[in-house]
Amino acid sequence: MNRSILIQPYQLLLKKRSLIFKIATPFLKLLSLFYRGNELHCTCCESNFRKFLPFGATQRENAICPGCLSLERHRLLWLYLKNKTNLFNEKLTVLHVAPEYIFKIKLILLTNLNYLTADIVPGEAMVQMDITNIQYDDNYFDVILCNHVLEHIPNDDRAMKELHRVLKPNGWAILQVPLDPKLAKTIEGSPNLTLEEREKLFGHHDHVRQYGRDYRDKLEQAGFTVKVDNYPQELGIEAIKKFALIADEGIFLCQKSPYLNFDLLP
């Protein structure tokens, strides 16, 4: 079977989240059969495959799970949530911004969670929300999940402060962004950039910046205390290969004082 026949429509589906799981199920079943094997394991859908699909401008090998569409960052985050946090066994009020489908269909079933999804696009989540102007009171949420959202927001400083405002004292947030570790300082894009220029500079046509190593500083300036957890290295090289993770991807675990407790294990 011609691989491009499989990959090209798949890449198009990723452009529009609202369409992915409305029309993709038969397509995913076909992909799952074609890629079935035992070389790789997806931590999100818990299926095994001989390989994953490539993705991105550089066509990263083994990036996309053919069973559930998860990328490396999703497989890492799901492992982290399960193994390193109290998300699954304590009563928590959770805000999930721009929710990943494979996560929300699982988290919404957890009876210990008061689980709220939010998106700026109408119809994509339970509530419509602009995270630069969140409609909830101070100290409202125990947990905030915001994965690869801030790079789309022109006023990310305001968004970070709003996320900090609505997080409860001693609550925790995971705020992931695409980050270039070789870049010392975040590169901000001009509002006048064309879509093609954004694609070239930032790797995607609707990203407004490329974050560098100062991302942690930006979070701390918003009020968070931040721990960057290099979880792939803790998992080890064999797990990195088996789950097809990015070896140097850190988890940005953010807390709101008054006191700090980064030990979130049950």
- Do 63 and 157 sit in the same domain of this protein? no
Task: Assess if residue 263 is contained within a domain.
Answer: no
Tell whether the model's pLDDT for residue 27 goes beyond 90.
no
- Which of 138, 149, 128, 132 shows the shortest CA–CA distance to 171? 138
CA distance 38 to 9: 25
CA distance 60 to 54: 5
CA distance 39 to 42: 10
Q: What is the pLDDT of residue 99?
A: 94
Torsion angle, CA of 26/29/34/35, rounded to 10 degrees? 130
Tell whether the model's pLDDT for residue 22 goes beyond 80.
no
Q: For residue 31, what are the domain limits?
A: 3-70
Task: Assess if residue 265 is contained within a domain.
Answer: no
CA distance 24 to 70: 13
- Which of 74, 68, 83 shows the shortest CA–CA distance to 24? 68
| Contact between 64 and 54 (Cβ < 8 Å) | yes
Lowest mean pLDDT: which of 15-24, 133-142, 248-257? 15-24
Tell whether the model's pLDDT for residue 2 goes beyond 70.
no
Question: Which pLDDT tens digit goes with each residue over 116-170?
Answer: 999 998 888 999 999 999 999 999 999 999 999 999 999 999 999 999 999 999 9
Choose the final residue of a domain: 41, 70, 99: 70
Task: Assess if residue 15 is contained within a domain.
Answer: yes
Q: Tokens 């029309």 correspond to what residue?
A: 23
Q: How many CA atoms lie within 13 A of 135 on its CB side?
A: 8
Token pair recorded at residue 102: 């494979």
Q: What is the pLDDT of residue 261?
A: 57
Task: Assess if residue 261 is contained within a domain.
Answer: no
Task: Assess if residue 116 is contained within a domain.
Answer: yes
| Contact between 256 and 262 (Cβ < 8 Å) | no
Q: What is the pLDDT of residue 124?
A: 87
Q: What is the pLDDT of residue 33?
A: 77
- Do 77 and 65 sit in the same domain of this protein? no
- Do 248 and 178 sit in the same domain of this protein? yes
The model's confidence at residue 87, banded by pLDDT at 50, 70 and 90, is very high
Token pair recorded at residue 223: 């009020």
Q: Name, of 69-73, 120-124, 199-203, the range with top average pLDDT.
A: 69-73
- Do 120 and 218 sit in the same domain of this protein? yes
Q: What is the pLDDT of residue 79?
A: 97
Q: What is the pLDDT of residue 260?
A: 54
- Do 61 and 89 sit in the same domain of this protein? no
Q: Into how many domains does the chain fold?
A: 2
Residues 74-80, mean pLDDT to the nearest whole number = 98
Choose the final residue of a domain: 15, 42, 70: 70
Task: Enumerate residues 6+ apart whose C-beta is below 8 A from 1.
Answer: 34
CA distance 219 to 116: 23
Q: What is the pLDDT of residue 10?
A: 38
Tell whether the model's pLDDT for residue 4 goes beyond 70.
no
- Do 13 and 45 sit in the same domain of this protein? yes
Lowest mean pLDDT: which of 24-33, 35-44, 80-89, 116-125? 24-33
Q: Supply the mean pLDDT for the chain.
A: 86
